[in-house]
Amino acid sequence: MSILDKLKIKPMEWVEEKDGPRFRWLDTRLIPWEEVYRETKDYERVAQAIKDMEIRGAPAIGIAAAYGMALAAVYSNTNDVNVLLQRLERARNVLASTRPTAYNLFWALDRVMRKASQASSRGVDAVINSVVEEAKRIHEEDVKQNVEMGKLGAKLVEDGETILTHCNTGALATGGYGTALGVIRAAFEEGKNIKVIATETRPLLQGARLTVWELVKEGIPATLITDNMVGYVMYKGLVHKVFVGADRISSDGFVANKIGTYMIATMASKHRVPFYVVAPSSTFDLSIEGDNIPIEERSPDEVRTVLGKVAITVPSVNVLNPAFDITPPSLVTALVTEKGIITPPYKENIRRVIKEQ
């Protein structure tokens, strides 16, 4: 039995049908009110799902993009290997244009294209099979890596502690287990008596909608707070540790994550609360240093409304809506990866542990 078959929550899957394979995913925009699965045979539909945040979270975006490439290969409708490679490159470009910050996206696309190129001398069928198998492998590896990170990170959690987390870093943001929320899940599964404080995560409320939904499903005690309560709960001593995820980490430890993370890290430093970042090695971009990470700017209407449904301000007001911010390494206690826990100095230790992908 594959590790994917054992998942409690299946955010996405590759489905073999008589009329051909398709990619299926849980539309996270509708959680917690509805659990609706979408499916397609079209890689452009996968790209749209990533762009519209039906699929979100850096690891999940990477996996979905890999499956999008698999669809492009399967339904390429050509017997010419060069034409197939051209169509895969076109699909890669479409998928790469969806979300600029999540490094897993580009890592997964490059990995799939390398496999396609390596198989090209063996013909069209070999290329198609290699792309499909690589997409499945990326998915399985992600879950295995998440489980390993959970075990490593759980060692940092003591019985009786309250953990604060931001945005959603659980099954819905990954292949099916979780990064930062995976650590929390692992600690709970070990029998540790823990509690979780989840921030609502404006403007799209991933914490309130997704993280709380996952915690309730797992039976993990959870308390929801608004984003601007973080300083208060730390001042009151209600938080023992912070665990967050990441969308891209530079070679020297600058962390791009959901907007609001920098504020939380600053408060954690002020109140001497350990601040941990949990991310697989595929999230590390060793080609850049410092805060030179592209930050996605999203639609102003995400801020002018609540989930696009209820207007909360003057419709014409100017809006600043970066989806991510950057936390400097000086505020990060440690980085938890599947390859080990990385501590300062990050410039030396990240390359030593992660190495070139």
Give the catalytic positions in this structure: 247
DSSP reduced 3-state for 26: strand
Give the integer Cα–Cα distance in Å for 336 and 187: 14
Residues sharing a CB contact under 8 Å with residue 21, sequence separation 6 or more, in sequence order: 14, 15, 41, 70, 71, 74, 132
Residues sharing a CB contact under 8 Å with residue 178, sequence separation 6 or more, in sequence order: 146, 150, 169, 170, 171, 184, 185, 214
Give the integer Cα–Cα distance in Å for 66 and 46: 10
CB 216, CB 185: distance < 8 Å? no
CB 28, CB 210: distance < 8 Å? yes
CB 195, CB 238: distance < 8 Å? no
Give the integer Cα–Cα distance in Å for 321 and 101: 14
The type of residue at 355 is: K
CB 332, CB 253: distance < 8 Å? yes
Question: β-strand 241-244 against 222-225: which pairing, if any?
Answer: unpaired
Per DSSP, 177 falls in state S
Rounded to the nearest 10 degrees, how much is the dihedral formed by the CA atoms of 186, 189, 194, 197?
60
CB 115, CB 130: distance < 8 Å? yes
